[in-house]
């Protein structure tokens, strides 16, 4: 079976000066990610420079230059604060937005929500970019796609764009939409697509600093926030799907299934258990990204946990697999946080929505 796509999402940086706490946190996150293997790239979701100034982009560039992983950086409204994206493009380079790359069989699409990429208004894609997205999704066919944009489609302000883009996503092969902007961690599931927002690194209103780790494994979305202060190892179950993130009837488990988990950092032992049952060993084949085990799922079982132990530390991830194909989420409003799952502390979701979209300060 193909290895899952896996990446780290460092939330909106809002960098100002090299002496600021968020600049030190950014450097610490980069150093932490450089210490492990198992990720394909790092994603920065926009609002990279708080005021869109060249000296602020120089700080972003310095962090990316020390990063061992590929990085994909998109625009946010704060990147437009100077009236154009000239400083963004001059400071960070990279391919012009929008663009697409194939990673482990997943078509990854990166959008510019600041207009055409040459200084357009905030929270607009423009007709050419919408047409590009429609063409990419049509060409992808049945291939899984992951979409990277600054905020929910419902935040788009161009005429008709919010509903048009949300509909393209909902009807197409997009399994995951990864976003910033909210300043809080949030997961939403409309029954077809999981929307994931990671909290800000530079304008923190809830919880400790950290970053998200996400994976797409054969159409199954998994996502979990890692606090910067927590040591390795870190566990993310990539298959099967948790019932709250299931988006396909085939995600419901039967009597047997393959359990897969991504373990980042040193781990001398990786094991799983069902509910409160005994821990059982998992194995990782030579060259494989994930630890795996064949699981017999007894009637009435509720949860499966994977635990990794290494260098005096341990970490556990737990999911509740979907067991009924007709029990999948149904959308209350595609392309928005109407389908938000609410609090889920084990995933880093506090559910307080402290940030620009809802109950926080107006940054």
List pLDDT tens digits, range 214-257: 999 999 999 999 999 999 999 999 999 999 999 998 999 999 99
pLDDT of residue 131: 97
For tokens 């009637």, the residue is 299
Q: Is the pLDDT of residue 14 over 90?
A: yes
pLDDT of residue 122: 82
H or E segment to which residue 271 belongs: strand 269-274
Lowest mean pLDDT among 103-112, 204-213, 271-280: 204-213
pLDDT of residue 116: 60
Whole-angstrom distance, CA of residue 23 vs CA of residue 117: 26
Whole-angstrom distance, CA of residue 118 vs CA of residue 17: 25
pLDDT interval class at 5 (50, 70, 90):
very high
User: Are 77 and 114 spatial neighbours (Cβ–Cβ below 8 Å)?
Assistant: yes
Q: What is the mean pLDDT of residues 35-46?
A: 97
Sign (positive or negative) of CA dihedral 50, 56, 58, 64: negative
Q: Where in the chain is the domain with CATH 3.60.21.10?
A: 5-230
Q: Is the pLDDT of residue 117 over 60?
A: no
| Residue 189 phi, psi dihedral angles, 5° rounding | -135, 115
pLDDT of residue 329: 82
pLDDT interval class at 320 (50, 70, 90):
very high
Whole-angstrom distance, CA of residue 120 vs CA of residue 123: 9
Q: Report the alpha-carbon angle 322-109-152, nearest 5.
A: 65
Q: Is the pLDDT of residue 330 over 70?
A: yes
Mean pLDDT for all residues in the chain: 94
User: Are 336 and 181 spatial neighbours (Cβ–Cβ below 8 Å)?
Assistant: no
H or E segment to which residue 23 belongs: helix 21-34
pLDDT of residue 292: 98
Q: What is the mean pLDDT of residues 288-292?
A: 96
Q: Where in the chain is the domain with CATH 2.60.40?
A: 249-326
H or E segment to which residue 164 belongs: helix 161-171
pLDDT of residue 76: 94
pLDDT interval class at 32 (50, 70, 90):
very high
Q: Is the pLDDT of residue 187 over 80?
A: yes
Q: Is the pLDDT of residue 118 over 60?
A: no
CATH superfamily label, 5-230: Metallo-dependent phosphatases (3.60.21.10)
pLDDT of residue 20: 95
**Pick among 3.30.70, 1.10.3470, 2.60.40, 2.20.28: CATH of 249-326:** 2.60.40
| Residue 134 phi, psi dihedral angles, 5° rounding | -60, -40
Q: What is the DSSP string of 48-62?
A: -BTT--HHHHHHHHH
Q: What is the mean pLDDT of residues 112-132?
A: 82
What are the pLDDT digits (tens) for 49-86? 999 999 999 999 999 999 999 999 999 999 998 888 99
The DSSP code for 173 is T
The percent of residues in the chain predicted with pLDDT above 90, rounded, is 84
In this structure, the strands spanning 256-264 and 234-239 are: antiparallel
Confidence (pTM): 0.96
């Amino acid at each position: 079976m193909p290895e899952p796509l896996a990446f780290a999402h460092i939330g909106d940086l809002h960098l100002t000066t090299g002496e600021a706490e968020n600049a030190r946190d950014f450097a610490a996150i980069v150093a932490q990610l450089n210490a492990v293997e198992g990720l394909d790239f790092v994603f920065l979701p926009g609002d990279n420079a708080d005021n869109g100034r060249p000296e602020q982009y120089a700080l972003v560039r310095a962090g990316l230059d020390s990063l061992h992983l590929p990085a994909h950086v998109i625009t946010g409204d704060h990147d437009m604060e100077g009236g154009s994206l000239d400083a963004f493009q001059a400071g960070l380079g990279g391919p012009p937005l929008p663009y697409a790359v194939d990673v482990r069989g997943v078509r990854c699409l990166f959008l510019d929500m600041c207009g055409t990429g040459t200084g357009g208004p905030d929270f607009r894609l423009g007709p050419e970019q919408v047409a590009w997205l429609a063409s990419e999704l049509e060409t992808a066919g049945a291939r899984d796609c992951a979409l990277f944009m600054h905020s929910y489609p419902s935040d788009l302000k161009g005429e008709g764009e919010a509903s048009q883009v949300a509909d393209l996503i909902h009807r197409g092969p997009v399994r995951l939409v990864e976003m910033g902007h909210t300043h809080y961690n949030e997961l939403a599931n409309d029954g077809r697509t999981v929307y994931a927002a990671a909290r800000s690194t530079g304008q923190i209103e809830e919880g400790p600093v950290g970053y998200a780790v996400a994976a797409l494994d054969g159409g199954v979305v998994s996502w979990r926030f890692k606090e910067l202060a927590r040591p390795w190892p870190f566990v993310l179950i990539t298959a099967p799907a948790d019932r709250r993130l299931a988006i396909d009837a085939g995600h419901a488990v039967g009597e047997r299934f393959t359990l897969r988990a991504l373990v980042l950092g040193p781990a001398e032992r990786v094991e799983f258990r069902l509910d409160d049952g005994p821990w059982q060993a998992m194995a990782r084949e030579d060259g494989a990204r994930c630890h795996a085990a064949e699981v017999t799922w007894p009637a009435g079982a509720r949860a499966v946990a994977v635990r990794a132990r290494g260098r005096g530390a341990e970490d556990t991830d737990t999911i509740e697999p979907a067991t009924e194909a007709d029990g999948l989420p149904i959308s209350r409003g595609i392309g928005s946080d109407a389908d938000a799952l609410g609090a889920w502390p084990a995933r880093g979701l506090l559910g307080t929505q402290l940030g620009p979209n809802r109950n926080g300060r107006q940054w």
